[in-house]
Structure 1
Amino acid sequence: MIKKIFILLFVSVVVCIAKSDKPNVIVILADDLGYADVGFHDVTASDVHTPNLDRLAASGVSFLNAYASSPICSNSRLALSTGRYQQRWGAYYYAEGGLPRTEHTIAEMMLEAGYRTMKVGKTHMNDGPKSHPMKHGFERFLGFIHHSWDYHLLSSKDVQAYENKRRGSPQKMTQSPIGPLTRNEGAKESYEGITTTEIFEREAISFITEESDQPFYLRLSFNAVHTPLTRAPNPQLAKKYGIPLRPFDRDAAVWKYPLWDPVKQPNYKKWYSQAAHLGIPDPYGRKIYLAHLEQMDLAIGNLMNALEAQGIADNTIIFFSSDNGGSDQSYANNGNINAYKYCLMDGGIKVPMVLSWPERFEKGTRIEATVTHRDLFASLSEITGIAPKKSLDGKSLLPLIDGSVSDLHAGETLFWDSGRKQGNWVARQGKWKLVYRKKPKDYKAYQLDENGLVKKEFKTVPIASGLQLYDLEADPGETKNLAKQNPERVTAMKKMYTAWRSEMAEPIRGRDVK
């Protein structure tokens, strides 16, 4: 009886929110964060220290079986923003899908609900007519529109320094651009002596501390801890972790590796492969990753402090997650789950996820049920009282949080698909995960010595081809393929995938989507 009364009260409160005290909402997304690189998980790397993320988790709900919709950032962000399978309009892998005019985003819903909206940080939507933040519901924007950006070289003077040297190189800096960030529709802003993480923190705090009678919706997308991680955020963290400073001197005759010098190394793609794809292992790679993680953790802590100083922390919802699984190329640690970014083993799609709302949710709640990024849209739709304009593939997390259900996706089969070129798809039903890979793949996994430095020798993490069936409750590391022992289950789940795939669109280039 008491539980029923609590649920009724909870529902009545949610219904009233749209009419009165609307909560502020902040969605924070890290980039390529390892599953074991947060302190609030049971499996945490021994070198990780994230006091502010742990504080955020303690203030709300931690989801211990949370999944991104893709093993790569752009497609995952499309699903999170729309609450739908991004394959519905042909987004399977890089450069595919974009954001069509017909899709409706969380930001558009929040704007309709009377919220002030702002996007800070990374936007990577694979092009499309609505890919710019100012076209999908944000009234303001500061950040970059690319899959990556240099953390430090944020000035027009840095761009000019490279242009002055480019005579020696036929290639431009394409994979990790440098220079000013973009404000709103296209104005450029230069910065000196500061990192993207600090700029995004400052901009986010400025937005939430503005005087206004309207609630706000803030999307804060860090590029930490994405590659290329060539140096520490600042001298203080470099000293703490024992990292060489590696300063950038615009006027130096030679820019030493791991900085790219177009004259010394004209082949930019070769440099990028060396610096960001483990072509040359950086002995300080893991330490640099940890330093940027600490800088991001501090930024999140300062944001939480600002909410408390404004007296609005209790009625502010904070969602935190990573866009996809941790990357071996950035020296992330995924703990005991298998593989890394780019593939559909759990290491590529299982992510940290927290939802905090101190005024409504019980502090320190930990939930084992399977959830996905797509569930955020439905949750905010229920809270704001604004019905989605498209049929959602996610479900509201509120019944799971208040205890009225124990399994949000009970009886449902969840799907992942990286497209026919990648030849990798997944069907997930409860504890059972069916994986198909067309070709095997070997990951380079870094190893650390007793001083926390990356060894020259990698270990190999092999990913098998063919159909594979795993019991994730008994085998979270996906080590025992049970397909041969369960042929009927494999056939049934493959049939479900085939039916789902027939409802999705064919792959389409992002620039071609309407």
Structure 2
Amino acid sequence: MKWMGRFLLSLAMCGALSGFAQASLPNVIVILADDLGYADVGFHEVVADGVHTPNLDRLAESGVVFRNAYAASPVCSNSRLAFSTGRYPQRWGAYFYGQGGLPTTEQTIAEMMREAGYRTMKIGKNHLNRGAKEDPMKHGFDHWLGFTNHSWDFNLLSEKDVEAYEKKEAGSIAKAKMAPIGPLTRDNGEPASFENTNTTEVFGRESVSFIKTESEKPFYLQLEFNAVHTPLTRAPNEQLRKKYGIPDHPFDRDAKVWPYPYWDPVAQPEYNEWYDQTCHLGIPDPYGRKIYLAHLELMDSVVGQVMDTLKEEGLDEKTLVFFSSDNGGSDQSYANNGPVNAYKYCLMDGGIKVPMVVRWPRKFKAKTIDAVVTHRDIFASLSEITGVAPRKPLDGESLIPLIKGDVISLHDEEAMFWDSGKKRQNWVVREGDWKLVYREESYDYQAYELDENGLVKSALRTVPLATGLQLYNMDADPGELNNLSTSHPERVEEMKALYEKWRVQMADPVRGKKATIIQVKL
């Protein structure tokens, strides 16, 4: 089998590279944004109006920019599972939200890095659909600070905020499970309460502190922001609120009523109704795009703080920095995917095509690469750099030969697959420039539009997603506008057969919270 050949080759490469790797191991920082729009970074060819990302642009100017980078899933949890393991999460039944979790049988990047002699830390979001190995302290991290939910309130991070909710109505915090309120979690479950700040700033300070920690060991830092994910109900701080002209929504813990956009468990007892209004475009926020841009700018500034700290500590040249987003941009958070088709949740490119940069000044020259790559390739790349072989066959390839110019493509000789399972009845085969899409049922999603002042219009635009088999040539038609399935029936059948062969190698879907023992297919 082809993957077994790759596995044996990787073992040989790691053995051959181990001397080189041990002599010059880089520090490694992985940075993931959350639901970032493809046109919402300044280093892309098409940049949305109002985007201000000078620090990400600085990272890209001195790094390797991948123009055709893909997440493994159109939703965060499954994408993060693939990134963390370098493997298709469908192998253990993780197709969509709530499925698969992280089995104890799967090795993570952090475990590999610790085996290579790194000190490790995870900061930020850790949404992996539960499972037996959900706890970051079981992933190979020495320390962590963050949350395990799919989102978190950006500003209400204090135990006093929890007390205010419980005082107003006992049990209200338990209802706020889609966008929880209150302290974050540190290490082995210790609550970490913060006042007068936001998650982005907290994650930045923790990252800087970790980088500055004195140690003879190199470090591995996995920094996963919840920006720019919902709930984006207000500006992250006063400075950015004023810059973008966003209305002030102060939170008074003692107020009799907390007005919208805050959830008040007495005035609005149906929490899910509030969540739909604020996070699913139930009530379009005129300032939604501006709030998104403010959070994006703050995240960018924190990335700048991390980069500046590397220079101040004399670590810039010997630190590999990876930046990407967990999946495509979401209209629900007012992201902008530019010319890329559709949005998060679906398998058109808007759901899975992501910004991606790798920077290592000591070894990599700045360049732009058009070859198709995926998040799964990061595990294989770090395996080659450290000389530590993976414990299982990977579904990714090392980016190093591509970056060095030894090859011009990584995945043209083998098809790649996406599958959202029975919940969405949506799967994809990518083979070279050809992309075959299947969707069982039609779906109309709601997209926001802006007026001449950059405010979100009250009326949403309906965008239909087609059903059935669709074939696109992504080189000639990157916007997926021209379905060629009827003119290339033989290619459709060939690619469909590839999908069916791949699918039988994967496990059946399984709920993450029920998956204590998971049958994993190699």
Q: Same fold by TM-score, threshold 0.5 exceeded?
A: yes
Q: Measure the CA separation in 1 of the matches of 2:131 and 2:426.
A: 24
Residue equivalent to 2:186: 183
| Distance change >3 Å, CA 144–CA 45, structure 1 → 2 | same
2:129 to 126, 150, 173: 126
- Code of the aligned partner of 1:338: N
Q: Which residue identity does 1:51 align to in structure 2? A: P
Structure 1 match to 2:332: 329
Higher mean C-alpha displacement, 23-32 vs 166-175: 166-175
TM-score, normalised relative to structure 1 = 0.96
Task: Letter of the 1:86 partner, please give it.
Answer: P
2:372 corresponds to 1:351: no
Please, which runs of 5 or more residues in structure 2 have no aligned partner? 1-12, 518-522
1:391 aligned residue? 393
TM-score (structure 2 length as normaliser): 0.95
Deviation at 1:46, TM superposition (A): 2.0
Q: Which residue is equivalent to 1:432?
A: 434
1:474 is aligned to 2:476: yes
1 CA distance for matches of 2:469 and 2:379? 32
Deviates more, 1:380-389 or 1:476-485: 476-485
**Which AA in structure 2 matches 1:249?**
D
Task: State the alpha-carbon separation in 2 of the partners of residues 39 and 460 from structure 1.
Answer: 28
DSSP-derived class of the 2:457 partner: coil
In 2, the alpha carbon distance for the partners of 1:427 and 1:212 equals 45
Q: Residue 491 of structure 2 aligns with which residue?
A: 489
Shift of 1:13: 11
Which residue identity lines up with residue 377 of structure 1 in the other structure? F
Write the distance in 2 (CA, Å) between the matches of 1:80 and 1:59.
24
Cα distance in 2 for partners of 1:280, 1:166 equals 25
Q: Does 1:286 align with 2:286?
A: no
Q: Distance in 2 between matches of 1:120 and 1:136?
A: 13
Alpha-carbon distance change, 170 to 362 in structure 1, aligned in 2, over 3 angstroms:
closer
1:12 offset after TM fit, Å? 12
Residues 391-450 of structure 1 show CA distances to partners (whole Å, capped at 9, x for unaligned) of 000000001001110011121100000002310000000111000001111111111111
What code does the residue aligned with 1:343 have?
C
**Are residue 156 (structure 1) and residue 168 (structure 2) matched?**
no
Asked if residue 230 in structure 1 is aligned to residue 216 in structure 2, the reply is no
Residues of 1 paired with 2:237 and 2:411: CA distance? Answer: 44
Q: What is the alpha-carbon distance in structure 2 between the residues aligned to residue 223 and residue 421 of structure 1? A: 24
Whether 2:418 is the aligned partner of 1:416: answer: yes
Question: Shift of the alpha carbon at 1:167?
Answer: 5.3
Q: CA deviation at 1:189?
A: 1.2
Q: For the residues of structure 1 that align with 2:173 and 2:442, how far apart are their CA atoms?
A: 35
- Secondary structure of the structure 1 residue equivalent to 2:23: coil
Supply the distance in 2 between the matched residues of 1:82 and 1:171 (Cα, whole angstroms): 31
Contact 1:168 1:266 (C-alpha < 8 Å) held by counterparts: no
For 2:428 and 2:194, how far apart are their aligned partners in 1?
A: 43
1:362 to 365, 382, 385: 365
- Counterparts of 1:252-331 in structure 2 under 5 Å? 252-331=255-334
Instruction: Decide whether the 8 Å contact of 2:18 with 2:388 is kept in 1.
Output: no
Please tell me whether the aligned partners of residues 324 and 351 of structure 1 are also in contact (alpha carbons under 8 angstroms): yes
**Counterpart mapping for 1:190-201 below 5 A:** 190-201=193-204
How far apart are 1:20 and its partner, in Å? 1.6
Q: Is the 8 A contact 1:118 1:217 kept in 2?
A: yes
* 2:243 corresponding residue in structure 1: 240
Counterpart Cα distance in 1 of 2:292 and 2:123: 21
Q: Which of 218, 239, 246 in structure 2 is aligned with 1:215?
A: 218
The amino acid that maps onto 1:236 is Q
Given candidates 95, 104, 109, the residue that maps to 1:106 is: 109
How far apart are the structure 1 equivalents of 2:190 and 2:447? 41
Separation in structure 1 between the aligned mates of residue 127 and residue 331 of structure 2, nearest angstrom:
21
SS across alignment from 2:169: helix
Identity of aligned residues (%): 66
CA distances 1:440-491 after superposition (whole Å, capped 9, x unpaired): 1111111111110000111111101110001111111111111000000000
Q: Secondary structure at 1:76's aligned position in 2?
A: helix
**Contact 1:99–1:125 (CA<8 Å) still a contact in 2?**
yes
Q: Is the 8 A contact 1:170 1:266 kept in 2?
A: no
Q: What corresponds to 2:461 in structure 1?
A: 459
Instruction: Select which of 17, 22, 25 maps to 2:25.
Output: 22
> Match of 1:80?
83
Matched ranges for 1:136-175 at <5 A: 136-166=139-169, 172-175=175-178
Contact 1:171 1:268 in 2 (8 A): no
Q: Distance in 2 between matches of 1:73 and 1:317?
A: 23
Between the aligned partners of 1:378 and 1:116, the Cα distance in structure 2 is: 19
Partner AA of 2:67 in structure 1 = L
**CA RMSD of the aligned region, Å?**
1.5
Distance 1:290 1:209 in 2: 30
State the 1:168 CA deviation: 9.8
Contact 2:14 2:387 in 1 (8 A): no
Give 1:4's aligned residue: none
Whole-angstrom distance in 2 between the partners of 1:211 and 1:377: 26
1:169 and 1:267 in contact (8 A); partners too: no
Look up the match of 1:6.
none
Extract structure 1 runs of 4+ deviating beyond 4 A: 10-15, 167-171
The offset of 1:247, in angstroms, is: 0.7
Q: Contact between 2:68 and 2:353, CA under 8 Å: does it hold in 1?
A: yes
> How many residues are paired up?
504
Native 8 Å contact 2:33 2:226 kept in 1: yes
Code of the residue aligned with 1:145 in structure 2: it is T
1:5 match: none
Q: Which residue of 1 aligns with 2:520?
A: none
User: For residue 35 of structure 1, what is the aligned residue in structure 2?
Assistant: 38
